[in-house]
Amino acid sequence: MSRTVLYGGTFNPFHIGHYETLKVLNDLPEVDRVLLMPDRIPPHKKQSFAVPDEVRIEMCRLAVQDLCKTELCLVEFEREGKSYTFDTVTLFKQKYPQEDFWFACGGDMIMTLDTWYRSKELIKLCGFYTIERKGSCGFTESVERLRRQGAKIHVLDADIPEISSTQLRERMKKGIYDNFLPDKIRDYLSKTKVYEGETLP
């Protein structure tokens, strides 16, 4: 049975923390495929995107070019409504019943897993990869609690830089593009200047 990892997010912007996470997932020997999925309407964030969806999709397209197991997946844009993980995983399980699906998310998100939409059903459908955020309080206790509820959670041993997307957007509003962005994405954003201007949040 092949294993596919779903890695979703707003990616506004797609930064080096996202890229390093993708690299770790891509290098796992038990993983056959990683699907990078930008959210259409994230259920956990009340936000009007500073850039068009096409820009976030292009950043993701650039990000997967050098990762042999990773591909861009736009399934979230193919249906109406919020991008609930349960709905997405259910869709994939119906389409590929023989595949072993896992979902990758940050340590801050996994700590709230039992508050997600239809979480009790979700943990029966897929496992979870996560990375502990440095200095996070209650991470280990949360993972243990979720495991007692039946969740399969694999905590990756990886040192991923902590990056604030809000701060990155603020810096790019001022025309500052730095190494917190992967090279191809930094070049793309600095040329298009889509985050610059006082009208952006």
C-alpha to C-alpha distance for 125 and 136, rounded to whole angstroms: 27
CB 105 within 8 A of CB 5: no
C-alpha to C-alpha distance for 108 and 113, rounded to whole angstroms: 9
Q: Once rounded to an integer, what is the mean pLDDT over residues 164-172?
A: 93
Looking at the chain, the whole-number percentage of residues with pLDDT higher than 70 is: 93
Domain residues for the domain of 180 are 3-192
Tell me the per-residue pLDDT of 64-107, one tens digit each, with 9 for 90 and over. 999 999 999 999 988 877 889 999 999 999 999 999 999 999 99
Torsion of CA 40, 46, 52, 53, to 10 degrees: -10
* Residue 7, domain member (yes or no): yes
* Residue 39, domain member (yes or no): yes
pLDDT at 49: 54
pLDDT at 136: 76
* Residue 186, domain member (yes or no): yes
CATH number of the domain encompassing residue 110 = 3.40.50.620
The SS3 assignment for 143 reads helix
Q: Name the band, by pLDDT with cuts 50, 70 and 90, for residue 199.
A: very low
pLDDT at 43: 65
Residue 201 pLDDT more than 80? no
Tell me the per-residue pLDDT of 126-166, one tens digit each, with 9 for 90 and over. 999 999 877 678 999 999 999 999 999 999 999 998 899 99
User: How close are the terminal C-alpha atoms of the chain, in Å?
Assistant: 44
C-alpha to C-alpha distance for 19 and 12, rounded to whole angstroms: 13
Q: Once rounded to an integer, what is the mean pLDDT over residues 14-22?
A: 96
pLDDT at 46: 56
CB 37 within 8 A of CB 134: no
* Residue 84, domain member (yes or no): yes
Tell me the per-residue pLDDT of 40-65, one tens digit each, with 9 for 90 and over. 876 655 555 568 999 999 999 999 99
* Residue 16, domain member (yes or no): yes
What total number of domains does the chain contain?
1
CB 170 within 8 A of CB 201: no
pLDDT at 200: 43
Q: Once rounded to an integer, what is the mean pLDDT over residues 179-200?
A: 87
pLDDT at 44: 58
* Residue 198, domain member (yes or no): no
Residue 198 pLDDT more than 80? no
Residues with Cβ < 8 Å from 82, sequence gap 6 or more? 41, 42, 43
* Residue 91, domain member (yes or no): yes
* Residue 60, domain member (yes or no): yes
